[in-house]
Structure 1
Amino acid sequence: MPQVLSNYLPPLFFRSGHLATMYCGLFRRVHGVIQTRERLTLSDGDFLDLDWSKSSNPTKKLVILLHGLEGDGQRPYITGSAKLFNQNGFDACAVNYRGCSGEPNISYRSYHSGATEDLNEVIHHILSTKAYSEIYLKGFSLGGNLALKYLGEGNAVPKEIKGAVAISVPCSLKDSCDQLLSSENILYARRFKKHLIAKLRQKQPLFPGLIKDADIKAIKTLKDFDDIYTSKAHDFKDALDYYAKCSSLQFLPHISIPSLIINAKDDSFLGQDCYPIAESEKNKKLYLEMPKYGGHVGFWGKKNITYTEQQALKFFNRH
């Protein structure tokens, strides 16, 4: 499908990718969303938590919200999306990945950019316990990669899944990692690494033979974290093997339901390989919008409704 022309033009202050990223990540607040938590026991005995918010009227439409690296179901980009969808006739289910709901998960493994087996369990749990006839996926960053990989990797996608929107997607995980390791993104990388190591230390008493002090001390970069923990805990050879197997870029040609990717051109987390122009031109179900501005999961909008929240609602209502 040809690229979607973007008319997004924020105020001057938000035409800085870094300011857009930091404002929406650190300063945005969303009020008025009432969430009810449901704990889902997974097939391997571990758990994850689902945060539900409802439309004011009974509905058959649901959006599943997938957060980014070290996010959770209460991040403003999640609750902002839930609020707008709830106001427009959709229920919302915000998925907290393993270990992301404020309580450590119980297994050695955790979550990662390609853990579609957990998303698949969430979807089938919803289908077996609820009566939604239309289900949509909306993912942010890591969650966007997860949604696109799920749709394109050969799963038997249920007929109830009608569309997807993916925001600020690291379609090439290696390319995105390279960007995060650059000096421009050092503050973001340090913040991510700090939170990831803190969770690893929480898990260490449960798995002292697998998580050792020497290993934690050896983690200097995000790639080190993926070499030392992510790959080992999730059966990849190393970080590069993980990036190669879990990047959504290779799965985009096989997506068969309407899917929209919105990646800002000023997103410092994304390199050239994260803008799948050729793939979108060859797949009539894949739409790509590349606004000049927006940052990483930024996209400031009036009345505390971001541009991508508006675009996702329009896209789902059309499809």
Structure 2
Amino acid sequence: MPILSSNYQPPFVFKNAHFATIFSATLRKVNFKIARRERLNLQDGDFIDLDWATSQRKSKKLVIAMHGLSGNARRPYMLGIAKTFTENGWDSIGINFRSCSGEINRLYRSYNAGATEDLAEVISHINQTQAYSTIVLIGFSLGGNLLLKYLGETDILPLQIKAAVAVSTPCDLGASLQALDAPKNKLYTKRFEKELKAQLFERQLNFPQKLSKSDISACHSLLAIDELYTSKAHGYKNASDYYKKCSSLQFLPAIKTPTLLINAKNDSFLTEASYPKNIAENSEFLYLETPKYGGHVGFIESNNSCYHEKRALEFVYDFVK
């Protein structure tokens, strides 16, 4: 498919990538309430909490959204996408990855950028208990990488899945981790480290034989956290093995679902690998849009809406009857 042009033009202040990123993540307010929370007990004995929102009329269409690193389904960008779709007649689910709903999960493992088995189990549960004819998947950042990997790693997907959108997605996890280590991103990495270490200290209370407080305290980077916990807790040899096997870049050529990847050119979390122009040009299903502005999930417009929310809805309607 040809590379898509973008007409996103933010208000002047949001042309600054860092201001756009910080505002959208922490300062933006979305007037939207989640209807209910459903706890899905997983086959391995763990659980995932799903935040539901429904349209005013009974819908046969469902959007499933996935958050980023150390996020949850109540973050502004998750509420914004739920609000946009439900106001247009869709039902919505925001997935809280394991340990991200405010309650630590039961098992030693939690979530990672390649844990597609959890997404597959959520979709299977929905198809067994509901009657949606159309499902659209949307992922942000880490959730976008998980989504793209899911779409490309198997030839057989549920027929209900009609389209997908990935926003501000690091397609090469190792390269993006190096980008985050740059001085300009220190504010973000320190916040991630603080939130992830807080979860690890809580997990250590349940698994003192596997984690020590001193080892957690000694982690002073995202790489160190992935070396200590993320990689080994999920069956990888080390952080490098985790990044290599879970990066979505290698799965993009195999995607057979209409998929829009929106990555801003000024996103400081991303590297060249996250703008897969050659793959998109040779794919029938992967559409790449690279707005000049937007930062990391920071596509703010003047009316407190976000460009990527309206763009996602517009894109899926090209493939949903």
Give the structure-1-normalised TM-score.
Answer: 0.99
Cα pair 1:68 1:140 within 8 Å, conserved:
yes
**Alignment match, 1:307:** 307
SS in 1 for 2:13: helix
Letter paired with 2:199 = K
User: Within 5 A, what are the aligned runs for 1:64-143?
Assistant: 64-143=64-143
Matched residues in 1 for 2:310 and 2:300: separation?
11
CA distance in 1 between partners of 2:32 and 2:233 (Å)? 38
Q: Which runs of no fewer than 5 residues in structure 2 stay unpaired?
A: none
Counterpart Cα distance in 2 of 1:229 and 1:86: 37
- The answer for the alignment partner of 2:61 in structure 1 is 61
Match of 2:19 in 1: 19
Question: Structure 2 CA distance, aligned partners of 1:58 and 1:193?
Answer: 42
Q: How high is the sequence identity, in percent, across the aligned residues?
A: 54
**1-structure distance, mates of 2:16, 2:296:** 11
Deviates more, 1:146-155 or 1:50-59: 146-155
**Secondary structure, in 3 states, of the residue corresponding to 1:121?**
helix
Q: Which moved more, 1:106-115 or 1:155-164?
A: 155-164
Q: Partner amino acid for 2:71? A: G
Match of 1:204 in 2: 204
2:169 aligns to what?
Answer: 169
**Structure 1 residue 273 displacement after superposition:** 1.2
Give the corresponding residue for 2:269: 269
User: What are the residue-to-residue correspondences of 1:249-264 with 2, within 5 Å?
Assistant: 249-264=249-264
Whether contact under 8 Å (2:61, 2:134) holds in the other structure is yes
Q: Is 1:179 matched up with 2:179?
A: yes
Judge which range, 294-303 or 183-192, deviates more. 294-303
| CA–CA separation in structure 2 for the residues paired with 1:145 and 1:185 | 20
Secondary structure of the residue that 2:112 maps to in structure 1?
coil
Match of 2:48 in 1: 48
1:255 & 1:34 partners in 2: Cα distance?
A: 31
Moved more, 31-40 or 278-287: 31-40
Amino acid at match of 1:181: D
CA-to-aligned-CA distance 1:105-156 (integer Å, 9 cap, x gap): 0100010000000000000000000000000000000010111100001152
Q: Distance in 2 between matches of 1:54 and 1:302?
A: 26
CA contact (8 A) 1:33 1:82 kept: no
Moved more, 5-14 or 256-265: 5-14
SS at 2:24's partner residue? helix
For 2:277 and 2:106, the matched residues in 1 are separated by 40
AA of the residue aligned to 2:108: Y
Contact 1:24–1:300 (8 Å) recurs in 2: yes
TM-score, length-normalised on structure 2?
A: 0.98
Q: 2-side partners of 1:306 and 1:105: how far apart?
A: 32
In structure 2, the partner of 1:226 is: 226
Structure 1 residue 32: Cα displacement: 2.9
Name the CA distance, whole Å, in 2 between partners of 1:159 and 1:113.
24
CA–CA distance in 2 between the matches of 1:269 and 1:196?
18
Aligned residue in 2 for 1:190? 190
**SS at structure 1 position matched to 2:288:** strand
* CA-CA distance at 1:35 after TM superposition: 2.5
2 CA distance for matches of 1:128 and 1:2? 37
Tell me, in whole angstroms, the C-alpha distance in 1 between the residues paired with 2:3 and 2:164.
16
Structure 1 SS opposite 2:119:
helix
Corresponding letter in the other structure for 1:73 = A
Tell me how large the CA RMSD over aligned residues is.
0.8
Q: Aligned-pair distance for 1:33?
A: 2.6
The answer to whether the 8 Å contact 2:138/2:165 transfers is yes
Deviations 1:184-214 (A, max 9, x none): 1001000000000000000111100101123
Match of 1:37 in 2: 37
Contact 2:11-2:301 within 8 A present in 1 as well: no
Structure 1's unaligned 5+ residue stretches are: none
> What amino acid is the match of 2:102?
G
The letter for the 1-side match of 2:239 is: A
**Conserved? CA contact 1:175–1:274, under 8 Å:** no
Q: Which residue of 2 aligns with 1:159?
A: 159
Q: Which residue of structure 2 aligns with residue 9 of structure 1?
A: 9
